Amino acid sequence: MFKRLLRSSIERSARCIKYVSLYAVLSALCVATLPAPAAPVEPELLHTGIVPTMGLGDVSEGTLLFKTNQQGRFIPAPVLKTDVQMAVTGIIARTTVRQEFSNPSPKKGDWLEGIYVFPLPETAAVDHLRMHVGERIIEGVIKERSEAKNTYEQAKQEGKRTSLVEQERPNIFTTSVANIGSGERITVEIEYQETIRSDSDRFQLRFPMAVGQRYIPGTPVIIENQAPKGTGTILDTDRVPDASRITPPVQAPSRGPINPLSLSLTLHPGFPVSKVESPYHPIIVVPDADGGFQISLKADAVPGDRDFQLIWYPAPRTEPLATIFTEQKNGETYALLMLAPPTHHDDKVASIPRDLTFIIDTSGSMAGPSIEQAKSSLAAALTRLTTRDRFNIIQFNNTVRSLFPSLEPVSASSIRKAIRYTETLSADGGTEIVSAVRQALKSPQDKARLQQIVLLTDGQVGNEEELFEMLHLRLGTRRLFTIGIGPTPNSHLMRKTAEIGRGTFTYIGNVTEVKDTLDLLFKKLERPVLNDIAFDSSWPAVEQYPLQIADLYEGEPIVVAVKAGALPQQATLKGFAANQPWSMPVSFKDASSRGGLSVHWAREKISALMDETYKGGVEEAIRKAVLDVALAHHLVSKYTSLVAVDVTPARPTNTATEPEQPASAKMDESISINELAKGATSGQLQLLMGLATLTLAWVAWSFWTRVA
């Protein structure tokens, strides 16, 4: 009897010890995986049921992010409110962008700093910054970039509300806003100016709404004990040293509308218009009595996931369209000249034999509709070739592949082979655009033929300067044309590449546009109206930009910005038409007076000065020249920034600006996992105790089985 009771008691004790020890081990393992109580609390583990933090690689569209107290983790701000107002007069567009920032934290004393990466047109001249805080308006001032940054940092430390606008690329800007109080809203307003593009007998204005993801080549460079330059999704590399500043964290579409945006504009083109349209956004168009238009989005707001584009078409004409504007400012005379060919073309003009090389981007960023658009574009181009032409196709991603070893004469068999090759193209891998263009430039130059290179890509790379430098050194007399594919092409790369190549940039954002747009483009490439265009150089102290004027093609005007001590009554344009000398007098006597031309000229000069970086110019000399122009004309550039500071401190100076943590409101009695660990035995000690208890249970059980 006693033996049975003893055996039963030992069995129960052994089972109890076993379960307790197992619980101890499991508890120890769980606690061991949690941070030690003294370590910083991970924001996403504070409470269940709240919006989690995100890493830099977790998101896919532009957004405002707040830093957290955990390195590499961010909290998306509540959906931004962005309002865009535009005024177009002739070929000058003036735009005001208002963006509302807010601090979502309900905890009093949470003073936050946010940074927002946003795109602007690549020709934008940013010259004003205003910060609205309640009823107060703080006007920004232009300063050298490092000085503006220091002013911003000092104001932030002093508890003052402050804002800073910096240029990362000619078409990518960042706005930093510091000392946003709990629940507080601050509106940042910037103004910029640009010149309207015109091609294929239409004028078009594009407002970028998103920063596309860019391929960043090179080896990541990490400097010990030094943070990256920016908060982007990719580290700085040896080939793109500012990669962390141009790869903004972006928000997944599943998190709700992306940067809702409202937009309205006034249009006064200065000539009769036959049609106004927006291909990607429904709009309302209301004509004015004076020949202008009031235009707005049909919806109150749209997500900022694709660029807005407005197109207007001049009424048919048989004579060239010449538009000249002038401005007097600070004792200088500025002028803007636009010369457009007639809208009715002469189809009897003989075409010139061509060498045509197509370069098509098959990288991963082109996957989906973009590669299908590119393939359709290429197929359309092949159908316009004649037996007088020669051609080749080069595709690129991580590698470069060429259809033919060199330029191939056009024949039925070569076109058939090219079409089959095009149909097999697929998108994957990196974007080694420089290697592909280098391959195309290996073909010999022939002055008796039109030598044209057509690049089809979304241009989402960060090493633009490498491409520009190579083109400057190797392009020669060839002409290069770019076709931007997809909803958010890198328009800076596309436009600048075409500018260096004395070609044109065509944007295709919708697969339904491919055939019509490409038909117009390739018809234009077959017959340049004028080439080697130049102004009469007899003007005194004249500065014109661009320095080298592009060729004039059917449906696309040339635009030149000029500054001089005084403009002559008349000047002369010279060039060649069908290899014959050509000239045309241009009168400035009756030019219309308009504001903003000095800003446009200054922006064009800064662009020309920055081009010297890939032409072998001395960086310090370039920097000084850009500073002189940017400070004189109040413009944001690579070396200057706009900074606004509220003189009244908002945050007590003894309170530090803290990284944001997720909101701590009660969520159905939810509790922090870390709270369970507070005051508990350390994970390592619990693990040892559990293992010891298991060992004791095993010894007791072994002893009893031998006794029994």
Whether residues 150 and 31 fall in one domain? no
Is 345 part of any domain?
Answer: no
Q: What is the gyration radius of the CA atoms in the chain, in angstroms?
A: 32
pLDDT score of 688 = 45
Is 478 part of any domain?
Answer: yes
At position 320, the amino acid (one-letter code) is: P
Is 170 part of any domain?
Answer: yes
Whether residues 9 and 132 fall in one domain? no
Do 210 and 119 contact (CB within 8 A), yes or no? yes
Q: What is the reported pTM? A: 0.65
Check whether 580 has a pLDDT greater than 90.
no
For the ranges 32-36, 316-320, 553-557, 582-586, the lowest mean pLDDT is seen at: 32-36
Check whether 462 has a pLDDT greater than 50.
yes
Check whether 680 has a pLDDT greater than 50.
no
Residue predicted with more confidence, 595 or 248 = 595
Whether residues 8 and 68 fall in one domain? no
Tokens of 282: 């429904």
Whether residues 132 and 189 fall in one domain? yes
Strands 400-402 and 408-409: unpaired
Please identify, among 479, 495, 526, the residue that sits at the C-terminal boundary of a domain: 526
Convert the pLDDT of each residue in 607-625 to its tens digit.
Answer: 899 989 888 889 999 999 9
Mean pLDDT of 415-439: 92
pLDDT score of 664 = 28
Convert the pLDDT of each residue in 123-177 to its tens digit.
Answer: 788 888 888 877 788 889 999 999 999 999 999 999 998 999 888 777 677 788 8
* 517 vs 504: CA distance, rounded Å: 13
Q: How confident is the model at residue 304 (pLDDT cuts 50, 70, 90)?
A: low
Calculate what percentage of the chain has a pLDDT beyond 90. 25
* 550 vs 327: CA distance, rounded Å: 24
pLDDT score of 667 = 25
Which residues, at least 6 apart from 458, have a Cβ–Cβ distance to it below 8 Å?
A: 212, 361, 365, 366, 370, 484, 485, 486, 488, 489, 490
Mean pLDDT of 414-422: 94
Exposure class string for 349-369: b at 16+ Cβ within 10 A, else e: eeeeebbbbbbbbbbbbbeee
pLDDT score of 214 = 52
Please identify, among 498, 526, 554, the residue that sits at the C-terminal boundary of a domain: 526
Whether residues 87 and 234 fall in one domain? yes
The total number of structural domains in the chain stands at 3
Do 672 and 45 contact (CB within 8 A), yes or no? yes
pLDDT score of 272 = 84
Whether residues 147 and 36 fall in one domain? no
pLDDT score of 118 = 66
Whether residues 449 and 389 fall in one domain? yes
Convert the pLDDT of each residue in 509-529 to its tens digit.
Answer: 776 677 677 777 887 887 778
Whether residues 288 and 394 fall in one domain? no
Is 318 part of any domain?
Answer: no
For the ranges 173-177, 602-606, 636-640, the lowest mean pLDDT is seen at: 173-177
Do 282 and 270 contact (CB within 8 A), yes or no? no
Here the CATH number for the domain that contains residue 303 is 2.60.40.1730
Residue predicted with more confidence, 243 or 638 = 638
Whether residues 412 and 462 fall in one domain? yes
Give the domain range for residue 230.
Answer: 54-313+640-649
Whether residues 234 and 97 fall in one domain? yes
Is 539 part of any domain?
Answer: no
Whether residues 199 and 67 fall in one domain? yes
Is 463 part of any domain?
Answer: yes
Whether residues 284 and 402 fall in one domain? no
pLDDT score of 441 = 94
Is 601 part of any domain?
Answer: no
Packed helices 369-382 and 514-526: angle between N→C axes, nearest 10 degrees: 40
